[in-house]
A and B are shown apart, each in its own frame.
Chain A
Amino acid sequence: MILFDGRIYDSSEQNRLLDELKDKIPSVLQRETLSPGIIIDAVDHLREDLLQGKFDELLESLPKEMVESYKVQAVTLLSKEHLWMKVKTELGTSEEYVTDKIEGFSSIRVKKVPIGVIFHISAGNMDFLPAYSLAEGLLTGNINILKLPSADNGLSLKLIMQFIEYRPELTDYIYVFDTSSSDIQGMRKMAELSNAISVWGSDMAIEAVRNLAPTGVKLIEWGQKLGFCYLSDPDNVEGLDKQLENLAEHIATTKQLLCSSCQVIYLDTDDMDKVRLFAESFKPYLEKAVGANLSTEIGIRARDTLTSYTQRLTGYLGQEEESDDVIRGRGMSLIIKDDNKLELSPMMCNVLIKPLPSKDLTKALYEGRYYLQTAGLICPDARRKELTELLMRAGLVRVTRAGHMSAYFPGEAHDGEYALDRYVRIVNIEEG
């Protein structure tokens, strides 16, 4: 299905509509820039309706527990106040200013304006991501072409139509297509209409987009990352018990599926005995957290257990590296390895435990530089600053408490950048 001019069209009309869009874009650009207040108002409206249960039927396809947690987050994150704060943080408080006069030169007015047309290639791996990406494009006043992920079940389109229903002024800024990723010609056509492409997804998805992007288009890539926890000198950590409890809770609740999830726990040592000892001591924490966070839906639990078991057997087949040294517990395992590579764990509460002395930290992480994002840090307070800085130099963009690796911090950047800032360009106007 296609959303164009606020109306639904059949996918077969894609070509004709894209031709039409080519003529339409300049006429939209001719008009005054879309103000962020309009989409903020629409999102806030959506939030109210969501909290009043208007979309409960729509959200039935998602696990109940998730829906509840989304609603709790929506209270704050989709509020007008929070969205205005996001705009201010990400675009800067002085969105328009005039430079000081320097003798011999004209002063200029500096202003951030929409980049123009953004082609969003969204991924299906996060609920609401298509609508979220689109909302960011609208907040910055852009015209947005959105390609839905193939796995989208219609939820995104319905939410986006709500935006238009609340604020019809958005109609001309939203074009949604359910093009398949294999429709290279269609995707290329959309790319050719755009000033920037915002792409979310795996290395493979990004690689594919790079190949079809016209030279000159700005590529805004949101790739996938790997998180880890760094544990230094545990004997001198105050409140270690609580911190390990929080780390275990983080692992059990995210099931290691997020960019920020902990895949590896690195110990600041090269002594494998200490690594093993730690793994043994961490087992009860993780086992307890896993037990406390079991889904109430037997189908989900069975699926996760089966996934985990299949991963384990696949490891035995030698398609992936496998360690012999594994501590297993109920619904979890700790896989002890003696290398220090940052890699994906088998997930589902199967955590890698590895040695990484701080003197080798930048060297070890350099290999994984494209995937660095979040490190949860457990260390004595006295060393926190020094180790944080070391992690930053290694390439990390988020250093958090171990239990907060996947937490959201208002005002935070995304993978080292403010999204809204990537969706605007800076213009200079000579003032005289």
Chain B
Amino acid sequence: MRLRRKLFANKDPYDSTKADLFLAACKENFDYLYGNCEDYRKICKGLKISSSDDIKTAADLPVIPTMMFKRHDFRSGRYFFTMTSSGTSGGHKSVIRFEFSAALAALRMSLKVTRYHGVISFRPCRYIVMGFRPTRKNKVAAARTAYLTTFLAPAISRKFILKETADGLKPDFDGIVEALKKYEKGKAPVRFMGFPSYTFFLFQLLEERGLSFKLPEGSKIMLGGGWKQFYREEADKATFYKLAKKTLGVEEENIIEFFGAVEHPILYCDCKAHHFHVPVYSNIVIRDPDTLEPMAEGNTGLVNLISPLTRATPILSVMTDDLGILHPGSSCPCGVKSPYLEIIGRVAPEDIKTCAAGAADILKGVNV
């Protein structure tokens, strides 16, 4: 995985001159998977792709829908650790494996991306994690990544909003309000990290109760884990920023959003204009919702995410159930040249209704 090492060691996370290296690293990953993962090979053969010579662009790589990882355990060689999706799709969870060198590459990537966006700091701060404390038993990626981000600056304390109760995880808003009252008087910056939806609920709660805080300078709100479970409540971003300022005294430029998926563990971080530019470690193909053919920038389609990060699970090219648009980088004022992704929504979430014999059992696994 020489080419992967080279790709993930690239200094500029948004270097637009590395397209050839990216494709070569993908082919390197493909060759490994083809040789070591029987299921991947079967899919390639079915799609009539028999060697990396058939791959002229990243869009030619065999695409595996993320929902397949939820119903089928792909194995390809040894691994170092696993991550599990939060399982919003009817209880099915996908298990993604990483070998040691993939973990190293991911670490390098995370450091470069976070440093680029000014998230790494040596100033100790207090963390409020809008999630739950990951445990040995709990491998949900969103919790892990939220936890990991609490190492981007030295932590004085970590407070978790979701608490384990007899009825499962429950948010402890009152505890957070108490903490905020205390932190406001101190000097250490506060960093929020976690699901945007919970953060937004917190803002609303504070506003309803007429509470507002002025958190110490340097405080940041970091968002990740997506809006998925809370689509109906999705706040438009302008309202979100306004409420952050009103209730916590945090300015828009100190709100940073991350985007990633267990099946595509590449760290996307929004730019100053709040756009998710595609980093050098990743490629995005927007596919036609009727034919799955690649579409030109500016069109809405299914989001296909590509990265040669790991080889222990064939997530080289995965199709999410998100609908999105890829915009040209030149249309963003931030200066990053690579295109940026806008998520429009998800494919229809309703179950497909059927009364054909045996159909429901088959569709159960693919209903999103």
Contacts and interface: CB of A to CB of B under 8 A. Distances in A.
Interface of A: 61, 63, 123-127, 151, 202-204, 223-227, 256-259, 261, 263, 294, 297-307, 309-319, 322, 330-331, 344, 347, 371
A41 B65 CA distance: 50
Contacts of B347: 299-300, 302-303, 306
B158 to A, nearest CB: 38
Contacts of B300: 298
Contact of B352 (A204, A257, A299, A316): A257
B277 to A, nearest CB: 24
Interface stretch (B40-48, B209-217, B249-257): B40-48
Contacts of A347: 354, 356, 359, 363
Contacts of A371: 357
B352 A303 contact: yes
On chain B, which size bracket covers the interface?
35 or more
16 contacts: A124-B353, A125-B353, A202-B360, A203-B357, A226-B357, A226-B358, A257-B352, A257-B353, A257-B354, A257-B355, A302-B301, A302-B347, A313-B65, A314-B72, A322-B46, A347-B359
A317 B359 contact: no
Contacts of B290: 294, 301, 305, 330-331
Contacts of A61: 350
A317 B72 contact: yes
A204 B360 CA distance: 11
Contacts of A124: 351, 353
B366 A223 contact: no
B65 A259 contact: no
B65 A204 contact: no
B230 to A, nearest CB: 17
Contacts of A316: 42-43, 45-47
Interface of B: 39, 42-43, 45-47, 64-65, 67-68, 72, 289-292, 300-302, 319, 321, 323, 345-363, 366-368
Given A306-B347, A313-B68, A331-B291, A344 B359 contact: yes
A202 to B, nearest CB: 6
B34 to A, nearest CB: 14
A314 B358 CA distance: 16
B20 to A, nearest CB: 29
Contacts of A259: 355-357
Contacts of A344: 356-359, 362
A125 B354 contact: yes
Contacts of B352: 257, 303-304, 307
B356 A261 contact: yes
Given A151-B351, A305-B291, A313-B46, A125 B68 contact: no
A344 B357 CA distance: 7
A17 to B, nearest CB: 24
Contacts of A331: 290-291
B259 to A, nearest CB: 19
A334 B331 CA distance: 43
A224 B363 CA distance: 15
B346 A299 contact: yes
Contacts of B345: 299
Contact of B355 (A224, A307, A311, A314): A224
Contacts of A225: 355-357
Nearest to B353: A125
Given A299-B348, A317-B43, A306 B319 contact: yes
A313 B319 CA distance: 12
A257 B65 contact: no
A64 B100 CA distance: 50
Contacts of A63: 348, 350
Nearest to B357: A224
Contact of B359 (A224, A302, A303): A224
Given A305-B291, A305-B292, A297 B348 contact: yes
B323 A224 contact: no
A276 B3 CA distance: 46
Q: Give the residue among A61, A261, A314 with the most B Cβ atoms within 10 A.
A: A314
Nearest to A316: B46
B334 to A, nearest CB: 29
Contacts of B350: 61, 63
B71 to A, nearest CB: 8
A307 B46 CA distance: 17
B354 A317 contact: no
B353 A305 contact: no
Q: Give the residue among B65, B349, B359 with the most A Cβ atoms within 10 A.
A: B359
Contacts of A319: 72
A263 B357 CA distance: 10
A151 B90 CA distance: 11
A306 B356 contact: no
Nearest to B289: A302
A252 B320 CA distance: 25
Contacts of A297: 348
B104 to A, nearest CB: 31
Contacts of B367: 307
Given A305-B292, A306-B65, A306-B302, A317 B39 contact: yes
Given A316-B42, A331-B290, A310 B355 contact: no
Contacts of A127: 353
A313 B64 contact: yes
Given A313-B46, A317-B43, A303 B368 contact: yes
B289 A298 contact: yes
Contacts of A227: 356
